[in-house]
Amino acid sequence: MMERSNHKYWVPALERAHEVLHCLAARPSKMRMMDLVSETGINKSTMFSLLQTMEKLQWVHREKGETYALGPVFATLGRAYFSGIDLVGQFHRLAANAAERVGETVQLARLEGTDILYLAKREAPAPVRIVSEPGMRIPAYATAMGKALLSHLSDEQVRGLFANAEFERFTEKTVSSAEALIGQLARVRHAGYAVDEEEIVIGIACIAAAVRDPAGVPVAAVSFTIPLARWEAKKPDARSEVLRLAEQLSFLQ
């Protein structure tokens, strides 16, 4: 329960909605209406009205199993929030040390529909230069950063997002369907980070983690891009560093 600094202007319905949203951010796609009633102490009839209203406003999304997840409006609000802060500047300040410690290129991107949009990168001194540049778009399903961000959506949201998408095969390892992607995302959720091994470019692997806002909603992702010849040797350090960088950027929001 939040501390009420001024009871006179307090709006109880907003406080209840706030509690519900935080429950869903902590346990996406896990809670049904009665779970939320039990968790928050809000009575059943009030919770029913709240969820009906929030669903119409796209604050929440009701899934086939009658569980709830945060709705698509928060993706829009998250992008608007990040447009008002210097995320790219924060990335450059922190990524220099991360790139130096791992000795590989680190990148920042956000989800734009079914693509990721590259925002920034910090090159590591290496004979192989990564061709991705800020402003480039790449299908999210074929990239570690894309999967790190998509993993925070429910299976139904992923199916809806890619309902009309064509899964271009960049290599023979590129995922070829929404159902195959959903299977990969389950493993990403379990691990807490995402990888792609030659799914977008032969001979290149990536490892990525999501950057979150204060409510726990992912708004960007960071990744290391590593030639396959160095992948197995560098993967443990890259995993630690990408999780550290994602946490640092999340903490600063």
Residue count of the chain, please give it.
Answer: 253
Superfamily of domain 78-251: GAF domain (3.30.450.40)
Q: How far apart, in whole angstroms, are the C-alpha atoms of residue 245 and residue 198?
A: 23
Chosen CATH of 7-71 out of 1.10.10.10, 3.40.50.720, 3.10.180.10, 1.50.10.20: 1.10.10.10
What is the three-state SS of the chain? CCCCCCHHHCCHHHHHHHHHHHHHHHCCCCECHHHHHHHHCCCHHHHHHHHHHHHHCCCEEECCCCCEEECCHHHHHHHHHHHCCCHHHHHHHHHHHHHHHHCCEEEEEEEECCEEEEEEEECCCCCCCCCCCCCCEEEHHHCHHHHHHHCCCCHHHHHHHCCCCCCCCCCCCCCCCHHHHHHHHHHHHHHCCEEEECCCCCCEEEEEEEEECCCCCEEEEEEEEEEHHHHHHHHHHHHHHHHHHHHHHHHCC
* 193 Cβ contact partners less than 8 Å away, ≥ 6 residues apart: 148, 207, 208, 209, 239, 242, 243
Domain residue spans of the chain:
7-71, 78-251
**Identity of residue 3:** E
Residues 83-133 pLDDT 10s: 555 788 889 899 999 998 999 999 999 998 899 999 999 987 665 555 667
Kindly give the confidence (pLDDT) of every residue in the chain, 253 residues in length, as a single tens digit, with 9 standing for 90 and above: 445 545 667 888 898 999 999 899 888 888 999 999 999 999 999 999 999 999 999 899 898 889 999 888 887 776 665 555 578 888 989 999 999 899 999 999 999 889 999 999 998 766 555 566 778 889 999 999 999 999 999 999 999 999 988 999 999 999 999 999 999 999 999 999 999 999 999 999 999 999 998 778 898 999 999 999 999 999 999 999 999 999 999 876 5
Q: Are both 7-71 and 78-251 of the same fold? A: no
